Copies of this chain bind each other. A is one copy, B any other.
Amino acid sequence: MAADDGKKKISESTIQRLSLYYRVLSILEKENIKTISSKELAKHEKLTPAQVRKDLSFFGSFGTRGLGYPVTELKNRIATILGLDREWKVAMVGVGNIGSALVGYKEFQRHGFSINMIFDNDQRKIGSNHKGILVSDIANLKEGLRENNIDIVIIAVPATVAQYIVDDIVEAGVSGILNFAPINLKVPENVILRNENMSMELEHISFSLVNRESITATKE
User: Does the CB pair A204–B101 fall under 8 Å?
Assistant: no
Q: In whole angstroms, what is the CA distance A101 to B95 when docked?
A: 11
Count of chain A residues with Cβ under 8 Å from any Cβ of B? Answer: 64
Instruction: Tell me if A133 counts as interface (CB < 8 A to partner B).
Output: no
User: Does the CB pair B182–A82 fall under 8 Å?
Assistant: no
Interface string of A144-172 (1 = CB under 8 A from B): 00000001100000000000000000000
The residue from B107, B178, B216 contacting A182, defined by CB atoms under 8 A apart: B107
User: Does the CB pair B102–A209 fall under 8 Å?
Assistant: no
Which residues from B are CB-within-8-Å of A112? 206
Instruction: Tell me if A127 counts as interface (CB < 8 A to partner B).
Output: no
In the complex, which residues 177-207 of chain A have their Cβ closer than 8 Å to any Cβ of chain B? 177-178, 182-184, 190, 192, 194-207
Which of A15-23, A63-71, A134-142 lies at the interface?
A15-23
Q: In whole angstroms, what is the CA distance A204 to B198 when docked?
A: 17
User: Does the CB pair B199–A108 fall under 8 Å?
Assistant: yes
Residue of B nearest to A196 (CB): B201
Give min CB distance, A123 to chain B, whole Å: 22
User: Does the CB pair B152–A205 fall under 8 Å?
Assistant: yes
User: Does the CB pair A206–B101 fall under 8 Å?
Assistant: no
Which of A83, A108, A175 has the most C-beta atoms of chain B within 10 angstroms of its own C-beta?
A83
Chain A residues close to B by CB (< 8 Å): 5, 10, 12, 15-16, 18-20, 22-24, 44-46, 81-84, 88, 90, 97-98, 100-102, 104-105, 107-108, 111-113, 151-152, 175-178, 182-184, 190, 192, 194-212, 214, 216
